[in-house]
Every structure is written in structure tokens, then in C-alpha cells.
Structure 1
């Protein structure tokens, strides 16, 4: 706007509308059922691995204390 007719003829989008468009797009991409399912499976797997590790450490500590 400051450079006159020779400048880029980009479009003006009100900030609140642009914010809404961005948030909706991100929500559609991030929170689709397939992606959420994959995230939950990964989290459950990692949790189970950590629990198994804690169990192994507890068992080792128990053997040392005897």
C-alpha cells in the first residue's frame, strides 16, 4: 500500500479471519482420527516400555537387597 501501484498486489485478509483459517486447518490436520489413533498407540507403547524398565530396575534392586 505504501509503494503504490508498482508494489505487490497481494490480497488483504482481516487478521481474525486469517487466524480462524489457520486454526481450522491445523485442527483438521492434527486432530483427524487416524493421526490421533497413531499418537495414542505410540504413547501407550512408550508407557508400556517405561513400565517394563521400571519393573526390571525394581527387580534388580530387590535382588541386591537380599
Structure 2
């Protein structure tokens, strides 16, 4: 192999390694955000269920008097 070809391959590998590192960082950040959103969703779900339990019974659905 010529030196130019080896240099080109080294540049390609370095670029791919940089790209992989950047993608890995983004993926880690996304997982962190997903975990944060999951926890928030669990809190909101628990609050909703608590409110639903304390809300009492729903009124019966009846026709309005003008029918």
C-alpha cells in the first residue's frame, strides 16, 4: 500500500471514531432524558390515580329536562 492510501484510511478511521464518540454521547444524553421523563410520568400517574380515588362518584348521565 502506498503512504497516501494508508493516510487516507487513517483519516477515515479517525473520522469514524469521532462520529461514534459523538453518537455515543448523544445516546447517553437521550437515555438520561428518557429516565427523567419516565420518573416524571410515574409521579403524574400516581397523582392522577390519587385524584381519581378522591374525586368521588361520577354523576349519572341523564337527559336534560327539555327532552
* Interval containing the TM-score (normalised by the shorter chain): 0.5 to 0.7
Shift of 1:47: 0.4
TM-score, reference length from structure 1: 0.52
* 1:20-49 deviation line (CA, Å, top 9, x unaligned): xxxxxxxx6xx8011001000000000000
Structure 1 unaligned regions, length at least 5: 1-27
Q: In the alignment, which residue of structure 1 is the partner of 2:23? A: 47
Structure 2 unaligned regions, length at least 5: 43-67
Higher relative contact order (CA 8 A, sep 6+): 1
TM-score, reference length from structure 2: 0.52
The 4+ residue runs of structure 1 with deviation greater than 6 A are: none
Equivalenced residue count is 37
Aligned-residue Cα RMSD (Å) equals 1.5
